Amino acid sequence: MAASAPVRTALVGFGYAGRTFHAPLIAACPELHLEAVVSRQAEAWPQARAAASLDEVLADPAIELIVLATPNALHAAQAEAALKAGKAVVVDKPFTLTADEARRLAALADERGLLLSVFHNRRWDADFLTLKALIAEDRLGPVIRLESCFNRWRPQVRDRWREGDGPGAGLWYDLGPHLIDQALCLFGRPLGVACDLAILRPGGRGVDYAHAVLRYADKRIILHADMVTPAPDARFAVHGARAGWSKQGLDVQEDQLKAGLRPGAAGWGVDPRPGVVVDGATGAREVVTGPPGDYPAYYAAVARALRDGASNPVPPSEAVAVMEVLEAGLLSAERRAEVAL
């Protein structure tokens, strides 16, 4: 196959993640071709052929890349099967259910010389890109405390696996990986994790409240997510030695994708509510408009890694690190005490 040919890709799973994120983002990447979709829906994505099972696409020699957008408990076994079939693999977050599973998959991919990547798309949120730039430019001074919140108002429990009590369900597995990954991108591995997980909604079966404190030698990083916040606008509050930065509102790309907007459309990823830098000495406030969000950058980087040998945008080692913190949070909540890393 010519080096310039698009990477022939199969998407496994067409629930919320597959339908909202993966299919449109793969389709928007000219270096990828969405060849097949494995789904119980006969024509989940009309531009791709319907496949009956994972085994069917694994047996197809034309398929180079398998994207897993299946329930969390299936990730490890399906990724292992795909790697053993000689396919490159993208796994939706969370990578696996346990850090041991994650480490085994990373070792298998390395042994087989295959790309294995995890879809930590919120590295390309507009607000996170802005925060990275502010820290890189030393606009705030050394960060002392960062609060990162991802709250929702969903008082009614829905009948779906993500809100159930099965393996990999609940908010810590759903939003925890996003919050943890962003923290590790900025500051690296913490010294310890203290985490409180709870079910606060009447009739709830899965964790719907998560509050974690990552301890570093010189800072504290607070991660919070819940489904019981009527005013869920707070997103970031970052306090540095010279200035602070606060941000209201979530990145818009998920809502744009749900509304049918496609990457490249006018206004794609543009933050309608830029954050504000506050000078600690003078109190002066400055609205800082950063770059637009860029979820398409993830799959473009995957394609370059496969075709040109470029860097994996989210290598397994980084996804393993997220799983280690997530697992430490589970243990901390069970013990009601900090867990050292």
- By CB neighbour count within 10 A (0-12 exposed, 13-18 middle, 19+ buried), where does 287 fall? exposed
* Number of other CB atoms surrounding residue 308 within 10 Å: 9
Please state, for a pLDDT cut of 70, what percent of the chain lies above it: 99
Q: Quick one: pLDDT band at residue 2, thresholds 50, 70, 90?
A: very low
> Shortest CA distance to 58 belongs to which of 83, 90, 27?
83
- Give the single-character DSSP code of 223: E
Q: Quick one: pLDDT band at residue 209, thresholds 50, 70, 90?
A: very high
Q: What is d(CA 78, CA 265) in angstroms, rounded to the nearest whole number?
A: 34
Here the tokens at position 282 are: 């003078």
Query: pLDDT tens across 63-84, in order?
Result: 999 999 999 999 999 999 999 9
Query: pLDDT tens across 22-45, in order?
Result: 999 999 999 999 999 999 886 789
Where are the chain's structural domains? Answer: 7-121+297-314, 122-294+325-340
Q: Contact, 86 vs 114, CB < 8 A? A: yes
For residue 1, pLDDT beyond 50: no
Kindly state the average pLDDT of the residues 256-262.
96
How many angstroms separate the Cα of 200 from the Cα of each of 32, 168, 205, 334? 42, 18, 10, 16
Here the tokens at position 116 are: 């294995």
pLDDT value at residue 145: 98
pLDDT value at residue 3: 53
How many angstroms separate the Cα of 51 from the Cα of each of 55, 76, 87, 89, 144? 9, 21, 16, 17, 51
Query: pLDDT tens across 301-332, in order?
Result: 999 999 999 999 999 999 999 999 999 999 99
What are the backbone angles phi and psi of residue 114, rounded to the nearest 5°?
Answer: -115, 150
> Which of the four CATH numbers 3.90.320.10, 3.30.360.10, 3.40.50.2300, 3.40.50.300 does domain 122-294+325-340 have?
3.30.360.10
pLDDT value at residue 42: 66
Q: What is d(CA 60, CA 278) in angstroms, rounded to the nearest whole number?
A: 56
pLDDT value at residue 306: 98
Torsion of CA 92, 317, 132, 197, to 10 degrees: 60
The fold of the 7-121+297-314 domain, in CATH, is Rossmann fold (3.40.50)
Query: pLDDT tens across 97-114, in order?
Result: 999 999 999 999 999 999
Q: What is d(CA 9, CA 34) in angstroms, rounded to the nearest whole number?
A: 5
